[in-house]
Amino acid sequence: MTATVSQEPETLTMEDLLKEDRNTIRALAHGDIVDGVVVRVDPDEVLVDIGAKSEGVISNRELSARGEQPVSLNAGDEVKVYIIQPEDEKGNVVLSLRKARAEGIWQAVAQKESEGEILDAEVREQNKGGLIVNIMGLRGFLPSSQVARQFSGNLMELVGTKIPVKILEVNRKRNRLIVSQRAAQDEDRARQREELFEKLQVGDLVTGKVSGITSYGAFVNLGGADGLIHISELSWDRINNVSDVLNVGDEVRVKVIKLDAELSRISLSLRQMSEDPWETIEQRFAPGKAVQGIVTKTKKYGAFLQIADGVEGLLHISELSWDHVDRTEDVLKVGEEVEVMVLSADKVRRRISLSPRQLHGGGPTEGGGFEPPSYDFPEDEDDDETTAVSDIEPQHNGSRAVESDAGSDDVSAAAAPVAVDGNAPESTPAAEEEPGE
């Protein structure tokens, strides 16, 4: 039989008990945030058990601070508290609810910054350098350089409003919180731009607002990205000034004609919302037909005439009269109405040749000498729109004519050069044209 040996319980000395007690008591330091349980609520203070050798004390003044909602505490409530003083002269731990909440908010704001999250901020006031904002109960600063572009000229418009911002800097030690409205707006626009390009297709009809006017076209905000209506895509008619057709703030319905997601470019057309007048040009303006036209521009080589909405032809200087004409302005003035004959109409090349002299006759009489007009146009310092002789194409219709190009499907392209028929001498030198007509 095996004997059973009983073990005596270990006897703990007073020193062991004190050492164990010290190990179980929480070590506290100024600035710690700890969990506690409300033990008692007195008229002047709140006692909180935080696991220390003595209870912590919260002043009742913290429960009803000016400008803040009163805090109601009851025995048994769990709270987070900030260690102001690990031990006062009475041996109590001095605690703060407000500082614990503030530190928690600073930590939350720092987390928002690291995640790049966009937050709502209430604009409280304006100062010399920007705006003072409230974010999650903390005082932040929005520099004027970080205000959204549309408000940069008048910051007072934002006071009293809520705006989206992105946190740029969090420095708890210096109580520094810097935010940016512009960064939040740019990020939001980038997201909207990406969504817009995902759903947009060439040929779509979209509605937007004119956001900017330039000499070469109008920008339209489509919600997330701006598209460009080139001046050549504003109307089938000749447009000299974009502001004659559109103004900032106008709402327009346009057609998407080109997309470039890599460059974030959207090309739009306003004129393609209506029928192209050149589609039926050859049926409406057959050679030999007499039409009325209004002079829209005069050049050295002739004059442009509008003969229908969106349709301009060019009357070459040699077709003004059977007599020699030195200057177009000697015969025609801008705004003058003229009857002319259609010499040719080309739908594909979008060109029309016109002539008043063919309509009225009056050519040279028998025996009289006839010298064809010169195509040697002298250099004109006031006219910087020129073309090489290789741009002049023959038109075998028995007369000299220059034709206009009234449109282009590419918003960035200028109109095709003018052309002169084959009756000009073979030694015809370089002639000037009207590009971009």
Same domain for 432 and 285: yes
Same domain for 122 and 100: no
Give pLDDT, residue 175. Answer: 87
Q: Which amino acid is at 345?
A: A
Same domain for 410 and 325: yes
Q: How many CA atoms lie within 13 A of 49 on its CB side?
A: 10
Q: How does DSSP assign 159-220, residue by residue?
A: TT-EEEEEEEEEETTTTEEEEEHHHHHHHHHHHHHHHHHHH--TT-EEEEEEEEEETTEEEE
Same domain for 245 and 127: no
Among candidate residues 185, 219, 243, the one where a domain is terminated:
185
Question: Residues with Cβ < 8 Å from 67, sequence gap 6 or more?
Answer: none
Give pLDDT, residue 384. Answer: 38
What mean pLDDT do residues 120-131 have? 92
* Residue 164 tokens, joined: 């989206």
> Of 214-228, 246-260, 354-368, which gets the smallest average pLDDT?
354-368
Question: Residues with Cβ < 8 Å from 241, sequence gap 6 or more?
Answer: none
Is residue 62 in a domain? yes
Is residue 11 in a domain? no
Task: Give the predicted TM-score (pTM) of the model.
Answer: 0.49
Same domain for 397 and 315: yes
Question: Is pLDDT of 416 > 50?
Answer: no
Is residue 10 in a domain? no
Residues spanned by the domain of 36:
32-115
Is residue 9 in a domain? no
For residue 178, name the pLDDT band (cuts at 50, 70, 90).
very high
H helices, E strands: number in the chain: 5, 20
Among candidate residues 115, 130, 165, the one where a domain is terminated:
115
Same domain for 257 and 126: no
Q: How far is CA 409 from the centre of its chain?
A: 24
**What total number of domains does the chain contain?**
4
- Percentage, residues of the chain above pLDDT 90: 29
Give pLDDT, residue 13. Answer: 63
Question: Is pLDDT of 405 > 90?
Answer: no
Nearest-angstrom CA–CA distance, 272 and 204: 12
Is residue 136 in a domain? yes
Among candidate residues 115, 141, 168, the one where a domain is terminated:
115
CB environment 314-337: b (16+ within 10 A), e (fewer): bbbbbbbeeeebeebeebbeeeee
* Torsion-angle region of 214 (φ positive above 0: left; ψ -120 to 50: alpha; else: beta): beta
For residue 427, name the pLDDT band (cuts at 50, 70, 90).
very low
Domain harbouring 59, CATH code: 2.40.50.140
Nearest-angstrom CA–CA distance, 288 and 355: 10
251-309: pLDDT as tens digits: 999 999 999 988 889 999 999 998 888 888 888 888 888 999 999 989 999 999 988 88
Same domain for 406 and 300: yes
34-77: pLDDT as tens digits: 888 888 888 888 888 888 877 888 888 877 766 567 777 888 88
Question: Is pLDDT of 375 > 80?
Answer: no
